[in-house]
Structure 1
Amino acid sequence: MSLDLRYSDATALAELIRTGKVSAVEVMQAHLDRINSLNSQLNAIVTVDKNALENAKAADAAVKSGKQNLGPLHGVPFTAKDSIDTAGVATQRGSPIFEGRVPSSDAVTIARMKAAGAILLAKTNLPEFSYACESENLLTGRTNNPWNLDRTPGGSSGGESAAIAAGLSPIGLGTDLCISLRGPSAITGIMALKPTHGRVPMTGIWPREPRRFWHTGPMARSVRDLALAYSVVAGPDGQDAFSSLGANYDAGVGATPKRQLKVGWLVEPGFGAIDPEVGSTVRAAAEALKAAGCDVESVRIPALEKDFALDVFLLIHVNEMKPGMIEVTKGQPEEKIFKNARGMLNTPDTPMADFVDAEQAIERLKDGFAAYFQKYDALVCPVIPVPSHGHAIEELTIDGQTVSNVNICSTTTPFTVTGLPGLSIPFGSSHDGMPIGVQLVSSWYAESTILHLASVLEKVSPVKGFHPNI
């Protein structure tokens, strides 16, 4: 039964606990046992909350007492990326500079998960300062992909994606600068939602620079779990100025839209080179939506072809995050600074004229997507251009082209710089058995649209229910 608990989604676990069919302690212990069994191979978990079992006992006591109005995640364990503050539990940000750092208060998202009844289980691994696509650092080491330990689970929320994929956690929270929720989810076979920028407060999450590009959101193994966690953590908090829109969103996935949804799908051009297996998976997802009754057609988006979003992002983000990077590393011995920070500190500043041009390119991209979403409800496209690759690679070979490893972000960055919501869902696998996801994108504040479409794909996914053999 414990294996079933480890691969049950959070919604199912909450119902089992609420009805007394299983105890919160049993669920927590099943995940703690899984961590003890597998984490030495994966290195996904970096800190376990020592109070997790006691908090599970308290959750069971509340059920037994007949307490009313239990939260929707009552008694369910959850994990969080180690850049998200957790009161009384180490949050070390993937760096010896922050070794032993224990926050005195929870990030807003953590507090909201706890208010919904969820119980913090553990913190998960990440790159140094969250600034890389490989979850590796000098303090807590490197995380492996549970589908193949010689492959990366991605970054920067790679520890979180590996933990959920391998059944160490049912649900969790990550952050996303240009790929970090969606990419890791795609290459470990789980799901993630990057909401519209500002939908979920970043209060209590570090780093913040560049603030206008950072997002936070849920990671899970089912669409209904994404929707539930999103409904819990979204909404303004009065502290994060970007999170100012009222909580007037519909996170439900059960309601059928009152009209036929029009969906475009795109593999190339505009994203750079795409692996044929990834392209085939996107086409298969588009066909599945068409079979389900959507109006689906192949599209081109001129704005993506005019301005390559990854290049635009790279021109801007260096100038905006380097001051904070300089501040946090100032006076620190060289042995405490990993290659990620060193590389960024050594990157030349973008000349002002180029910086301004990049700013204008972002506005053109936003305008281009605004025009697109006048005609279409959603876009189906790749999450990342290749299936999971090996650790520490410097170059990618994509459909016969050799490109820098930074191109792993070429298909997610357009929706970061524009602030559009994006959802990653598994829908295929590579010739060697690695998961392949597709990305669903909707207009600003239309998360309910992509959650609905994801629920349609989830029902017919050829990889539904697949788990790593570990």
Structure 2
Amino acid sequence: MNDNLPIYYQDATALAKMIRDKEISPVEVIQAHLDRIEKYDSSINAIVTIADTAMKAAKAAETAVMKGEKLGPLHGVPFTVKDSIDTAKLLTQRGSPIFKGRVPVTDATSVARLKTAGGILLAKTNLPEFSYWIESDNLLSGRSNNPWDLTRTPGGSSGGESAAIAAGMSPLGLGTDLAISVRGPAAQTGIVSIKATHGSIPMTGIWPRVPRRFWHVGPMARSIRDLSLAYSVLSGPDGHDAFSTSRVQFDAGLGNVPGRPLRIGWMVGPGFGPVDPEVTSVVESAANALKNLGHKVQAVQIPALEKDFALDVFNRLHVMEMKEAFRDAIAGRNDDEIYKMAKTMLSLPDTSMKDFIEAEQAAERIRDGFAEYFHHYDLLLTHVLPIAAHKHGVEQFIINGQKVDATYLQGATVPLNVTGLPGISMRFGTSKEGLPINVQLVGSWQSESTILHAATLLENVSSVSNLHPNIK
């Protein structure tokens, strides 16, 4: 806990302790975040709906503290939720006029678990239409802006969530990740996030569900200890999501880590696409920091990523299933209710059966390549994005002298969706323009303890000083 920070920049772990110790009331905490939203969201546009039950829940949480009742690990702490995730009796409109006014009856499993832990749902956050793009913009609630620079994007598809947390409107939130969507936005706004092993956190109550083998839901926050706490609350089967099955026991204490120096490889390519030199420099600095802490660190390559470009494999696999979900959603609707993301998806050519089968085989080769890598190493350290947060609406980039389209921003994140591997996005540097640069820590399947441990080590030695944006 940093006593010098205002309430709205305390992390969730600190707030929970302060509430338990009666240093602060849940009512004060909720009000501080509501005031922050009122002051800054008109320029950032991260919030789409405020929960009208938040203050009532805060008063009930305060009463429970005063009565000495048993408190959950997030008792009285506010959290926000991406608007593709169902919230009972609160609008969930999925970034589209097609779903305007939609109010679910029940909470998504992930939302219910945060509430059971004592968390208070504060608001829903913005996203691209149907959760599908690397910018958070739609016809229903407009475009979200990056609190570090309002002319830049906070990313997608969990961009409203990343912007809200970075701006102090929320200490903790839920996003979803198909190819980049909790890790990329975290990198663009300098916060932290985890995409856990596929199936670790149930996707029940989240749309779209196809292609199911690539979708994840995960926590976003401002500290690694908050990710650890949230993951311990969120993970485990729910009896509804068939991908969410038994797991290695996890607790926020991170007891299940190797009792020896970690074996760590770091890389920015080949196999990820081009990377800006200043991003490469930050990844190398993180590698050197871990080496200086006594871990075994070396530059590596993963041949499977060079043989089969994961972004191409992903595109060939997911288009067919996503197109069908989009067609079902827009059936019978007016053209002016459909934004450019759905139109772009529906305009893409179908993948032939031959190419689909080949892509499935390529995905298996990539999984095998990572299995071979993790036979020798505990951790892979990479970049999250090849550049820092970019200006709104840019569709092509020159990165390290190579011209690429915007989908290439997913080059280092999408391999984890194709394989189901866990990865953390966390800040470790700053661009020459003063924007955050994050690194990605990747572990083998079910090794969340290891990557959270390594992330904690990096967090403790980070030299980044400007942790919070100066919002204009």
User: Is TM (by shorter chain) over 0.5?
Assistant: yes
State how far apart, in whole Å, the 2-side matches of 1:326 and 1:267 are: 37
Contact map agreement 1:458 1:464 (CA 8 A) in 2:
no
**Residue 406 of structure 1: how far off its partner (Å):** 0.7
Letter in 2 for 1:83: S
The whole-number CA distance in structure 1 between the counterparts of 2:80 and 2:315 is 30
2:206 counterpart residue number: 205
Paired position in structure 2 for 1:173: 174
Partner residue, 1:28: 30
Tell me what 1:288 maps to.
Answer: 289
Structure 1 residues 78 and 262: alpha-carbon distance in aligned structure 2, compared to 1, 3 A threshold: same
Specify the code of the residue in structure 1 equivalent to 2:345: M
Offset of residue 76 of structure 1: 0.2
Contact 2:92 2:103 in 1 (8 A): yes
The 8 Å contact of residues 267 and 274 in structure 1, kept in 2 or not, is answered as: yes
Q: Matched residue pairs, number?
A: 469
TM-score (norm 2): 0.98
Letter in 2 for 1:134: E
The residue type paired with residue 166 of structure 2 is A
Q: Is the 8 A contact 2:82 2:127 kept in 1?
A: yes
5 Å matches for 1:448-467? 448-463=449-464, 466-467=467-468
Q: Aligned to 1:136, what secondary structure does the other structure show?
A: coil
Report SS of the residue matched to 2:6: helix
How far residue 256 of structure 1 moved from its aligned partner, in angstroms, is 6.5
1:53 to 46, 52, 55: 55
Alpha-carbon distance, 1:250 to partner: 4.2
Which deviates further from its counterpart, 244-253 or 176-185? Answer: 244-253
State how far apart, in whole Å, the 2-side matches of 1:176 and 1:291 are.
Answer: 33
Shift in Å, 1:251: 4.1
Distance (whole Å) between structure 2 residues aligned to residue 274 and residue 143 of structure 1:
25
TM-score by length of 1: 0.98
- 8 A contact 1:383–1:424 mirrored in 2: yes
Question: What amino acid is the match of 1:59?
Answer: A
Which residue type is aligned with residue 188 of structure 2? Answer: I
Once the two structures are superposed, the pairs formed by residues 39-438 of structure 1 within 5 Å of their partners are 39-67=41-69, 69-246=70-247, 248-253=249-254, 257-438=258-439
Distance 2:75 2:290 in 1: 34
Give the equivalent residue in structure 2 for 1:4: 6
TM superposition outliers: structure 1 runs of 4+ over 6 Å:
none
Name the CA distance, whole Å, in 2 between partners of 1:297 and 1:83. 40
Retained in 2: the 8 A contact 1:2–1:30? no
Moved more, 251-260 or 32-41: 251-260
The secondary structure found in structure 2 opposite 1:141 is coil
CA distance in 1, matches of 2:397, 2:318: 22
Equivalent position SS for 2:95 = coil
Q: Report the alpha carbon displacement of residue 249 of structure 1 after superposing the two structures with TM.
A: 2.7
- The amino acid across from 2:218 in the alignment is G
One-letter code aligned to 2:199: G
- Contact 2:134 2:155 (8 Å CA) reproduced: yes
2:62 maps to a residue whose letter is: D
CA RMSD of aligned residues (A): 1.2
Q: Specify the SS of the correspondent of 2:336.
A: helix
Consecutive unaligned residues of structure 2, counting only runs of 5 or more, are: none
The residue identity in structure 2 corresponding to 1:446 is: S
Partner-residue secondary structure (3-state), 1:179: coil
Give the Cα separation in 2 of the matches to 1:246 and 1:271.
Answer: 30
Is 1:128–1:137's contact at 8 Å kept on the other side of the alignment?
Answer: yes
Do 1:46 and 1:124's aligned partners in 2 also have CA atoms closer than 8 Å? yes
Sort the Cα spacing of 1:377 and 1:247 in 2 relative to 1 into closer, same or farther, 3 A.
closer
Determine the C-alpha separation between the residues in 1 that align with 2:94 and 2:454.
Answer: 34
CA distance, structure 2, for counterparts of residue 199 and residue 465 of structure 1: 33
How big is each residue's C-alpha offset from its partner over 1:140-182, in whole Å with a ceiling of 9 and x where there is no partner? 0000000000000000000000000010000001000000000
- List runs of 5+ in structure 1 lacking aligned partners: none
**1:325 match: secondary structure:** helix
Contact 2:257 2:450 in 1 (8 A): no
